[in-house]
A and B are shown apart, each in its own frame.
Chain A
Amino acid sequence: MNCDEASVLMHALIDGELDAGHAREVEAHIVGCPDCAARLRELQDLRKLMTPANLRYAAPASLRARIEGKLPAPAAAVTSRRSVIKGFAFGAGASALAASGLLLMVMRGDEQKRILEEVVSAHLRSLQAQHLIDVQSSDQHTVKPWFNGRLDAAPPVADLTAQGFTLLGGRLDYVDAKPVAAIVYRRRVHIINLFCAPAPGSGHRGAVMESLHGFNVRRWSENGINLWAVSDINADELTEFGEKFEVALKQ
């Protein structure tokens, strides 16, 4: 890392925006570079002058009242007894019918939520535990075969360097207590983990973007594989990544 890179990245460092790996790199540079160390001190000093509480403004009460006055008033909270009884009668009938289906929906929702939690945890773990990569290579023909014998099916691996997503390597990880392939990409200073889990029988399923704990997750299915791309890059860029990946596999 050179001083130009370090002097920009140290802003991300003091803002807590760097993952553990890059934070270490910047810190290592600063330790060995008196100029950058001085720059970092200047930044920290400047920061101390910027206590948010002293720089905020409080909205005038009159403004709050004006805004509240212009929004519609709450609906009358009075409900007639008749409509309550009607609603109850309908509710009892409907709930018996809906109970089984509804329960299923809730459970499916929970299941998806749990998997979402798991892939985000796996992503976080990979950034913190110095275990981002098992096989380090920007060559898809090195990364893909590495999974032979480690997984039932080889994961799809695409080289997207030309599209702005650098292939860093691959790693064996676990999601839902099953071994999965994690293909690791880098976008500028951000890591993207692409988790691939075999799901025999699942055909094409369109992409869904979700977000959890400040990470974006794009999930989709293709050719009997469930995929989750997890990163802290914004949703648009992660969508771009997913689309480029899908295109690359079709070529």
Chain B
Amino acid sequence: MMVGGADLSGGGAERFKALALPHLDDIYTLARYIMRSASDADDAVQECYLRAFRHFDTFRGGPIKPWLFAILRNVCHAAYAGNARLVFKAEEEVQAKPVWGEDGDTPEQAMLRRHDSDTMRRLIGELPAEFREVIVLREINDLSYRDIAIVIEAPIGTVMSRLARARGMLRAAWIAAEGGGVSP
């Protein structure tokens, strides 16, 4: 089996597209949470894909998602380093609304659920960067601890302890925001 893609002609591009483009929404989601802005996320994702394609020959096979996440993370960090204003920029209004309403939801339940999810998105967005990324990789992208460790270049023990702290912070923030216990 050919691993990676030294062939960067049309054929390599097709293979890259077939492997990498199906994960666009996942990559974009992490970018939105890291960059906290739709336009910056757009730029970061585009740069991530172009960079991934240029270095496709270094991809060693296996699941491609952690590899793409790691590249995205580097791109985002470089963007932050080159553009300090991003750190202080207020979060943009959440624009992209997902498809809501699970089966059997009454309009009231659907509204509550939507309210909960909007709050949760905001609270995740407010976590410090190193806790935000493990939450997004684990809870939203369903990565294993091992894959998260690869993406953030840290030992699995660090992944576990950060995740534990991140969840603790999220719970405290939720209680503060909703003024009561966590009761879904």
Query: Can you list, as one digit per residue, whether each of B39-55 has a CB less than 8 Å from chain A (1) or not (0)?
Result: 00110011001100100
Q: Quick one: given A67-B50, A71-B16, A72-B9, are A46 and B182 in contact (CB under 8 Å)?
A: yes
Contacts of B16 in A (CB 8 A): 71
- Complex: A76 Cα to B150 Cα, angstroms: 37
How many of chain A's residues touch chain B, expressed as a range? 35 or more
Partner of A64, one of B24, B98, B171, B183: B24
Distance in Å: Cβ of B40 to nearest Cβ of chain A? 12
CB pair A67 B11 closer than 8 Å:
no
* Shortest distance between the CB of A9 and any CB in chain B (Å): 8
- In the assembled complex, B72 has its CB within 8 A of some CB on chain A: no
Which single member of A43, A56, A70, A233 contacts B25 (CB below 8 Å)? A56
8 Å CB contacts to A: which residues of B48-69?
49-50, 53, 62
**Given A49-B184, A56-B25, A188–B50 Cβ distance below 8 Å?**
no
Determine if B98 and A56 form an interchain contact, defined as CB atoms under 8 angstroms apart. Answer: yes
Residue of B nearest to A216 (CB): B146
Stretch at the interface among A11-19, A146-154, A177-185: A11-19
Q: Is the CB of A75 within 8 A of B21?
A: no
Q: How far is the CB of A4 from chain B (nearest CB, A)?
A: 11
Contact among B142, B160, B170, B184 for A52, CB-based, below 8 A:
B142
* Interface pair B156/A188, CB less than 8 Å apart: yes
Task: State A161–B171 Cα separation when bound (angstroms).
Answer: 38
Q: Are B25 and A68 in contact, with the CB atoms below 8 A?
A: no
Known: A15-B145, A45-B184. A68 touches B156 (CB 8 A): no
- Also in contact, A55 and B42, with CB within 8 A (given A232-B146, A234-B156): no
A75 in contact with B164 given A51-B117, A55-B120, A56-B98 (CB within 8 Å): no
List 20 other contacts, CB 8 Å, given A47-B139, A57-B28. Answer: A8-B160, A45-B182, A48-B184, A49-B174, A49-B182, A52-B140, A55-B98, A55-B117, A56-B29, A58-B96, A63-B42, A67-B46, A71-B13, A71-B49, A71-B53, A73-B10, A73-B13, A74-B10, A74-B14, A233-B146
